[in-house]
């Protein structure tokens, strides 16, 4: 499911017809969520529009050197100043990081544009939907939209968008990386994307307390199933407290398990708001974790997905391991 040139041009047209845009993404935003949000903000501003990014709470430490200047609170009386609302990189209404007073039902009555690259997107009807499941990242999808607008991508957009592309492809290591992905990355480098700054901030700036947390997690809490083809860990809250580690900083944490030789599926479980948070990754397309996540009312990609389990962490562990094991039957 790829976006057509006609759809890309229509998306660009609608965005550029807007005057005052509020941009949302998913809760606990990762590099692609942030890259696509800020990349779009700067694109609109360079075209003479007003645009704001709304993110409830804080952003992960590794991204604070790259992204700043967003709304973390929005009074209801200021909401009507916006004429267009854009969701980027969010596949599920339950994960939308919007102000508390705004429901998805109300949002759908507005000039609401949904831009995403998750094939299982369930945001539902919007004023305009553009979902391209074959695109590696939402940031790359925005590069395509900007190119379709025939407006030269502003230099300020280049680094945010490249950050999103790099994080969602694992620095172009994952199988979602296509020839198109590399061509679009080259466009951003030509427009001035700061590759060295991105790499150092996102991949080489891990705090010492996080490294100590990860060391103990792998040493004391790593578990295996199905002849070590499944590796997982249940993160006890006291471990995060011991090292003053914010679980919201866990982007990349699951790669510690995925990197183990022989492991095909990696999974992390921990207690969070609303239940047990589940994050899953698969190395091979024949063992997709996307359907497993959707079976637990979650979502994501076929090889990278997540969900929230209502119950105890022990019950979640049992249910998920059983479901993942069935993939190998």
Residue 43 confidence (pLDDT): 98
Neighbouring-strand partners of residue 26: 96
Mean predicted confidence (pLDDT) in 21-30: 94
Does the structure show a pLDDT above 90 at 179? Answer: yes
Query: What integer pLDDT is reported at residue 290 of this predicted model?
Result: 92
> What residues form DSSP beta bridges with 67?
none
* Domain range list for the chain: 5-203, 208-326
Q: Is the pLDDT of residue 16 over 80?
A: yes
Q: What is the mean pLDDT of residues 210-216?
A: 96
pTM value is: 0.88
Sign of torsion, CA 310 311 312 315?
negative
How far lies 230's CA from each of 49, 77, 124, 155, 323, in Å?
48, 49, 33, 43, 11
What share of the chain in percent tops pLDDT 90?
Answer: 80
For the segment 264-280, the average pLDDT, to the nearest whole number, is 94
Per-residue pLDDT, averaged over 297-316, amounts to 91
| Mean pLDDT (whole number) for 52-75 | 93
Mean pLDDT of 83-111: 92
| 121: confidence class by pLDDT, cuts 50, 70, 90 | confident
Q: Tell me, which fold does domain 208-326 have in CATH? A: Diaminopimelate Epimerase; Chain A, domain 1 (3.10.310)
CATH code, 5-203: 3.90.1640.10
Whether residue 75 is predicted with pLDDT greater than 70 in this model: the reply is: yes
Residue 183: the pLDDT is 98
Q: How far apart are CA 326 and CA 321, in angstroms?
A: 9
pLDDT tops 70 at residue 1: no
Instruction: In whole angstroms, give the CA distance from residue 126 to residue 110.
Output: 8
Same fold, 5-203 and 208-326: no
Give the contacts of 55 (CB within 8 A, at least 6 positions apart).
25, 29, 34, 37, 70, 71, 72, 97
pLDDT higher than threshold 90 for residue 166: yes
According to the 3-state scheme, what is the secondary structure of 71-122? ECCCCHHHHCCCCEEEEECCCCHHHECCCCCCCHHHHCCCCEEEEECCCCCC
Q: What is the mean pLDDT of residues 64-84?
A: 93
């Amino acid at each position: 499911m790829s976006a057509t040139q006609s759809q890309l041009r229509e998306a660009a047209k609608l965005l550029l017809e807007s005057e005052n845009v509020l941009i949302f993404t998913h809760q606990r935003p990762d590099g692609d969520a942030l890259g696509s949000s800020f990349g779009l903000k700067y694109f609109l501003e360079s075209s003479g529009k007003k645009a704001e990014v709304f993110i409830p709470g804080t952003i992960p430490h590794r991204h604070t050197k790259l992204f700043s200047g967003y709304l973390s609170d929005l009074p209801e009386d200021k909401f009507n100043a916006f004429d267009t609302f854009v969701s980027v990189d969010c596949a599920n209404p339950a994960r939308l990081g919007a102000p508390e007073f705004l429901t998805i039902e109300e949002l759908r009555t507005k000039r609401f544009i949904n831009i995403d690259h998750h094939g299982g997107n369930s945001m539902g009807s919007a004023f305009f939907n553009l979902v391209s499941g074959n695109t590696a990242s939402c940031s790359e999808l925005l590069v395509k939209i900007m190119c379709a607008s025939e407006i030269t991508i502003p230099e300020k957009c280049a680094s945010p968008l490249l950050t999103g592309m790099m994080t969602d492809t694992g620095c172009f290591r994952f199988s979602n990386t296509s020839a198109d992905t590399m061509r679009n990355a080259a466009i951003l480098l030509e427009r001035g994307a700061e590759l060295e700054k991105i790499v150092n901030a996102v991949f080489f700036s891990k705090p010492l307390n996080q490294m100590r947390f990860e060391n103990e997690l792998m040493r004391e809490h790593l578990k295996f199933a199905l002849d070590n083809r499944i590796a997982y860990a249940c993160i006890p809250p006291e471990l995060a407290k011991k090292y003053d580690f914010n679980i919201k900083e866990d982007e990349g944490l699951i790669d510690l398990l995925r990197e183990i030789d022989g492991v095909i599926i990696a999974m992390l479980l921990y207690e969070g708001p609303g239940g047990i948070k589940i994050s899953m990754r698969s190395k091979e397309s024949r063992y997709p974790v996307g359907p497993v996540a959707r079976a637990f009312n979650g979502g994501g990609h076929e090889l990278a997905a997540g969900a929230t389990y209502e119950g105890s962490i022990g019950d979640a562990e049992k249910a998920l391991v059983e479901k993942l094991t069935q993939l190998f039957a």
